[in-house]
Amino acid sequence: MPSITEAEIGLDSFPGTTAHWNNAATREVLTMKIMKRVLLSLLIGLPVSILSAQTAAISPDSGATHRYIVRLKDSVHARADIELLPSFRKYQRMENLPIVTVDATQAEAEQLRAHPDVEYIVPDRPLRASSDLIAQTINATNSGSGPAVWTYGAGGFSGNTGSGIAVAVIDSGIDYTARDFGNVAGKLDGNNNRIVYRENFLVPPQPNGQYNGDRYKTSDGYGHGTHVAGLIAGNGFVSNQLGSIESLAGIAPSANLIDLQVLD
């Protein structure tokens, strides 16, 4: 930070500053001037620091090859070129979007940025899905803000586990055989299956209001509905078996489920 002179903070306008410092009004004025000067220095330097940090974070080693996402201009997509960005090492081309991923050095990336067909280019950073922080995200676990909604011990679940509550999942169906939707022992027989109602809206009703048994059979060939149901009410039975490294249960592991299939 640059040095601050007496003239810059206005001390030269207060002769005998040390003596005047004991005066409350004078001390307040001087303090405000010093604070304004320091704040201005920080505001001037902060954008430069942030820009430098961002540049360092996204600028790879100039000689190394990295993967980039290249967003092409819409006009390129409309041309339906068979060969896009000739001479560049292309990894993948999106079918319905004007996007290509390429492997390039930093110098080649700069060439791509200047290419007339390119809208922008960004590093293709790896992303990973994770569901082990859901409870913390919605404040359902013990933290500084309060106790956990429920806990799990040798006797099973205790606390507010959703017992007596039914949650409707309107999705691609739920796997009726998934043992995380049974009781704490993974049993699905009798009344142990917590999927208490199923209806498949993809099956049309019979004419004249006749009963169609297939209407009340669901399946999840896609997997999304089962995943969502697990986040809501899975009891973690499968992840508690020998060999598992972490126990994963839903937010309301004792709740019942209503399976309404609307997607195939």
- 139 in the same domain as 255: yes
- Tally of domains in the chain: 3
- 257 in the same domain as 187: yes
- Asked, for residue 129, whether it belongs to a domain, the answer is no
Q: How far are the Cα atoms of 5, 23, 38, 102 from residue 28, in angstroms, in the given order?
A: 18, 9, 16, 60
* Tens digit of each residue's pLDDT (9 = 90 or more) over 147-157: 677 777 777 77
- Asked, for residue 222, whether it belongs to a domain, the answer is yes
Beta-bridged to residue 143, according to DSSP, are 146
Q: How many CB atoms lie within 10 A of CB 232?
A: 17
- Asked, for residue 80, whether it belongs to a domain, the answer is yes
Buried b (16+ CB within 10 A) or exposed e, 131-157: eeeebeeeebbeeeeeeebbebeeeeb
Answer yes or no: is pLDDT of 11 > 50: no
- Asked, for residue 128, whether it belongs to a domain, the answer is no
Tell me how far apart the alpha carbons of residues 43 and 250 are, in angstroms, rounded to a whole number. Answer: 45
* Tens digit of each residue's pLDDT (9 = 90 or more) over 20-44: 444 555 545 444 554 555 444 444 3
- Tell me what the pLDDT averaged over the chain comes to: 76
- Two structure tokens written together for 151: 């806990």
- 252 in the same domain as 187: yes
Range of the domain at 32: 6-58
* Tens digit of each residue's pLDDT (9 = 90 or more) over 47-79: 333 333 333 344 555 678 899 999 989 888 777
Give CA torsion, residues 90, 93, 98, 103, to 10 deg.
-30
Give the pLDDT band of residue 3 (cuts 50, 70, 90).
very low
Answer yes or no: is pLDDT of 247 > 70: yes
